[in-house]
Amino acid sequence: MQDGADYNDAIYFIWIFITMSPNPALKIAILTVSDTRTAENDHSGNYLASAIAEASHQLHEKLILVDNRYKIRAALSQWIADPEVRVVLITGGTGFTDRDVTPEAVAPLLDKEIPGFGELFRKISYEEIGSSTIQSRAIAGIANGTFIFCLPGSSGACRTGWEKIIKQQLDSNNRPCNIIEMLPRIAICTK
């Protein structure tokens, strides 16, 4: 091999042929950010856990944390550092009250933002809830090869984000492109 590009290309194709199934099961962590949710009444987090299982992905861990940017960062940092966790779904804390700190907690940890996620989420939400969608600061990005999606705390918003955006992007059959296709190249660059 003559240079790093050839090496990375070789690793990429080896990874594709050895480890990729047509639709690989990804390990996904879920974080519910709320001062009031418990395991019993965490409808959004429980919905997401069911939805990822139905899509044949694996739940790595599910946590509920209070609206505290440093606790959010601590949990998220552990998942970002874990090479097995490829996706983190965060629900809650994306509004604009004083307690809503999820975007502020997550943004400094991102290597790259995915602005299209928030834009598309609000467009789809507008069709469902009208102008109330402006109260959502849904964001997404990539950190150390881990995709992070921050959704509002309502179960309806989580259903919209999962069914109409995230689920499709985590399906290798989605065309013209999907996140699955990007994983090998992102992992090589950042893990």
Q: Could you report the per-residue pLDDT of 7-49, keeping only the tens digit for each?
A: 555 555 544 443 455 678 999 999 999 999 999 999 999 999 9
Provide the edge-to-edge strand list for the sheet that holds 85-91.
Answer: 58-65, 27-33, 85-91, 146-151, 139-143, 112-113
User: Can you give the pTM of this predicted structure?
Assistant: 0.86
Question: Considering only CA atoms, which of 180, 119, 175 is closest in space to residue 147?
Answer: 180
* Structure confidence by residue, pLDDT tens digits, 41-98: 999 999 999 999 999 999 999 999 999 999 999 999 999 999 999 999 999 989 988 9
Confidence bin at 134 (pLDDT 50/70/90): confident
Q: Which domains can be identified in the chain, with CATH numbers? A: 25-190 (3.40.980.10)
Q: What is the chain's Cα-based Rg?
A: 17
Closest C-alpha to 143, from 191, 98, 71, 179: 191
